Structure 1
């Protein structure tokens, strides 16, 4: 395991894909998604193929549908299987929910039963660039509310904090 991700993941959770990520899986996912995956995401999922991080809240400067000053993620999606970012069923469900998948793809699910999620947004960098990370609220699927969270995935994962920080 890479040292800088030591302690990042909860040790056991129902969302981890038991299949270890390979370079072939990464290449296939990029072909399926038609987007280049961020290096920081690849490094992360090579330590554990998706799951629940120990720190699952991300502070925001503006209110979101989740809270006045943060969002919470339920899990980070891995590759392969029925729930990976490259799963056709997952992509179809994300599209049906109203997520703007023309911008990129959902990378983190939130605990709102599908009403909001965290996406990688390639709209400014192109399909091969370094995407920014956005929170998307699809309560009104005709007009999803987008909140920019970070300039890239590395900044996002480094910015995750323990949710106890936000408990009153």
Structure 2
């Protein structure tokens, strides 16, 4: 499992400590069970800005030729503004920005809402992690087969030529 000290940028967590009661309420509200790796990470550090802020993409996005920039991970809860059920949580992106209702929007990107990262529950089993690009008619691109693979695939954006 990943170490929160290597996942997050050193700032405090976005959300309150995750309890079983909050987890059950959030999953009920979202209508989906969260991946175990996400829950485990949130129990140790509940959301926040990421230390490694980019993920490879299999094709060009509106952000870059070969990757997406990923800013922060949503807390599991309701109290933090950027938590799964918070003020700008998953439902906000569907209702206010017209993102497709494919699952749970759990990470935002540096584009200030013009692209997001989501858990895609359209197929049975563990949800895939996808990039949804509002700038390109909500194009959906699979980034990883599951949350754990997505998190281990994050790299520092300086790895890429950001002038593209």
Which residue of 2 is the match for residue 165 of structure 1? 159
CA deviation after TM superposition for structure 1 residue 7, in Å: 2.0
Secondary structure of residue in 2 paired with 1:32? helix
- Taking structure 2 as the reference length, what is the TM-score of the superposition? 0.88
Which residue of 2 is the match for residue 30 of structure 1? 27
Q: Partners in 1 of 2:91 and 2:144 — Cα distance? A: 26
Which residue of 1 is the match for residue 39 of structure 2? 42
Q: Partners in 1 of 2:7 and 2:82 — Cα distance? A: 20
Summarize deviations over 1:68-124 as a string: whole Å, max 9, x none: 0000111000122132112365344202211112x1011100011111000000001
Asked if residue 98 in structure 1 is aligned to residue 95 in structure 2, the reply is: no
Which residue of 2 is the match for residue 56 of structure 1? 53
- Taking structure 1 as the reference length, what is the TM-score of the superposition? 0.87
RMSD between aligned residues: 1.8
CA deviation after TM superposition for structure 1 residue 3, in Å: 6.6
Q: Partners in 2 of 1:29 and 1:65 — Cα distance? A: 31
1:94/1:3 CA distance change after superposition, 3 Å: closer
Secondary structure of residue in 2 paired with 1:134? strand
CA deviation after TM superposition for structure 1 residue 146, in Å: 0.7
CA deviation after TM superposition for structure 1 residue 12, in Å: 1.1
Matched length: 159
Which residue of 1 is the match for residue 147 of structure 2? 153
CA deviation after TM superposition for structure 1 residue 45, in Å: 1.1
Which residue of 1 is the match for residue 7 of structure 2? 8
- Between 19-28 and 148-157, the greater mean CA deviation after superposition: 19-28
Q: Partners in 1 of 2:90 and 2:3 — Cα distance? A: 30
Asked if residue 124 in structure 1 is aligned to residue 123 in structure 2, the reply is: yes
Q: Partners in 2 of 1:115 and 1:78 — Cα distance? A: 20
Contiguous gaps of at least 5 residues in structure 2: none
After superposing on structure 2, the runs of 4+ consecutive aligned residues of structure 1 that deviate more than 3 Å are 2-6
